[in-house]
């Protein structure tokens, strides 16, 4: 059984995600990783999830480097967050995400929208950490 969280926790979540994504968008991979548990996981689509900060860090560093080399600025936009406190104290947060890519010439490309499900530890203490992040891209099914 889960319980919707109070308004003050929703505000804390807003700050948590803003801080975390600003870190990634500005290339601060270490700061981004500090919001994951040591054994946290990060999965996109059907691919095997990355496990642990080291694996997530290698992937995020490669991503940040690739976009910096091509002079592309990325920005993450999160919204429509739904947060529920699970019986075990873990916070399950489901939200929509959009990612924009702005090239040096000013042209913008959007990635497919996605649904993200995070399991966050530390809700009781306020020191939130991502235990797992699962991203499902809004792609049309293959025919």
Kindly report the pTM of this predicted structure.
0.90
Decide: helix, strand or coil at residue 103. coil
Asked if residue 84 is part of any domain, the answer here is yes
Alpha-carbon gap, residue 1 to 107, rounded angstroms: 46
- For residue 124, give both structure tokens: 């009781």
Asked if residue 102 is part of any domain, the answer here is yes
Q: What is the pLDDT along the chain (143 residues), one digit of tens a residue?
A: 677 777 788 888 999 999 999 999 999 999 999 999 999 999 999 899 999 999 999 999 999 999 999 999 999 999 999 999 999 989 999 999 999 999 999 999 999 999 999 999 987 677 899 999 999 999 866 66
Asked if residue 132 is part of any domain, the answer here is yes
- For residue 61, give both structure tokens: 């560093």
Question: 132: domain CATH number?
Answer: 3.10.450.50
Asked if residue 108 is part of any domain, the answer here is yes
Asked if residue 67 is part of any domain, the answer here is yes
**Phi and psi for 10 in degrees, rounded to 5?**
-60, -40
- For residue 1, give both structure tokens: 């059984």
Asked if residue 142 is part of any domain, the answer here is no
Q: Which domain holds residue 48?
A: 3-137
Which residues neighbour 20 within 8 Å (Cβ) at sequence distance 6 or greater? 31, 32, 35
Structural domain total, the chain? 1
């Amino acid at each position: 059984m889960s319980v919707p969280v109070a308004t003050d926790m929703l505000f804390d979540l807003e700050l948590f995600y803003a801080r975390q994504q600003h870190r990634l968008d500005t290339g601060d991979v270490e700061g981004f990783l500090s919001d994951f548990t040591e054994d946290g996981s990060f999965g996109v689509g059907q691919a095997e999830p990355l496990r642990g900060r080291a694996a997530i860090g290698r992937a995020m560093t490669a991503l940040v480097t690739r976009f910096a080399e091509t002079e592309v600025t990325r920005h993450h936009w999160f919204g429509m967050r739904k947060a529920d406190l699970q019986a075990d104290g873990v916070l399950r947060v489901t939200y929509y995400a959009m990612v924009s890519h702005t090239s040096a010439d000013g042209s913008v490309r959007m990635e497919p929208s996605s649904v993200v499900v995070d399991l966050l530890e530390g809700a009781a203490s306020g020191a939130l950490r991502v235990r797992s992040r699962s991203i499902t891209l809004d792609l049309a099914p293959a025919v």
